[in-house]
Structure 1
């Protein structure tokens, strides 16, 4: 193998190794973002459920309220 060709192969191998490393880092970051998004979605769902329950406590059912005193 000529010196120039060997140098080009080494450079290409270096680039591929760098790209593989970058791809692994991006994959890890994406996995973390997906996990955090799932946690946030669960937290939001839980918060909305609590809000619905709290709203129900604030607004009484008209059928359960006693009639006004003028009846």
Structure 2
């Protein structure tokens, strides 16, 4: 994300989401985990991109379920 390009947090590719999450958590996030979340029902936009807020809200809901 340090390449100077603007990123729209409401329209992220898997790769962009992984970079953002990795930077936020200061650890490597595996893109396979994000893809697994998407297959498990994590929300996506109609064009297949990911809204960061919706994805993190989905993660929080899933974590609270204890699964």
Give the TM-score, by structure 2 length: 0.28
Structure with greater helix percent: 1
TM-score (norm 1): 0.27
In our comparison, the structure showing a higher alpha carbon Rg is 1
- Bigger RCO of structures 1 and 2 (CA < 8 A, at least 6 apart): 2
